[in-house]
Chain A
């Protein structure tokens, strides 16, 4: 069974940093691209970043580019997202999702990031 489990969310002050993790199981992690997608309270879905299994990656949305780093450790079947310079509009539930050519077919349950003083 494919499973994705996010962790690392919490309350952070504006300007702070956070590292989110996504532990994967039930599939060959290294074979797949993985995404981070976020959902602000009461709002829709926003793609944040993608890291692939091959060269030419990663990619970032303009809203986080320059202050975020997506990475993966295939030996630990884990995906990471480091976000620096956090702002109030980064407040959201952050989901990781397995990707097949642009189709996020499995999602984790999400981890909530709240940016507030």
Chain B
């Protein structure tokens, strides 16, 4: 089983700042890495897939990068609605997929 480890667990920033969230895989996931956003009481929302492709309707301030085992989600300038939980997901052995434990992005 591929284990995804996200860091930091909590990230405290102010609106307008740049956010950098990390996801490390226990073995290579090739390009099959996605990011999700989840707000309290809501379902996860697909943000990014195949490392750097934004899902439909996702603003350009969200970007993804990385390769192999190390990946990053960057939010260039935080908007108030961006404060949420973020999960990475790998699908290398689809449909057996796994998620990271999440990073909470909170307002400083």
Contacts and interface: CB of A to CB of B under 8 A. Distances in A.
Interface string B45-66: 1100100000110000000000
Given A103-B49, A107-B43, A59 B101 contact: no
Contact of A110 (B43, B46, B89, B98): B43
Contacts of B89: 45, 104
A33 B95 contact: yes
Nearest to A107: B43
Interface in B60-108: 87, 89, 91, 94-102
Interface string A22-47: 00000000000101000000001111
A105 B94 CA distance: 15
Interface stretch (A71-79, A80-88, A94-102): A94-102
Nearest to A58: B95
B34 interface: yes
Chain B contact patch, size range: 20 to 34
Contacts of A107: 43-45
A46 to B, nearest CB: 7
Nearest to B100: A44
B95 A103 contact: no
Chain A contact patch, size range: 20 to 34
A21 interface: no
A102 B91 contact: yes
**Which residue of B45, B46, B56, B95 has the most chain A CB atoms within 10 A of its CB atom?**
B95
Given A44-B100, A44-B101, A102 B95 contact: yes
B94 A101 contact: yes
17 contacts: A35-B95, A44-B100, A44-B101, A45-B87, A45-B89, A50-B95, A52-B95, A59-B95, A59-B96, A95-B43, A95-B44, A102-B91, A102-B95, A104-B46, A104-B89, A107-B44, A109-B42
A108 interface: yes
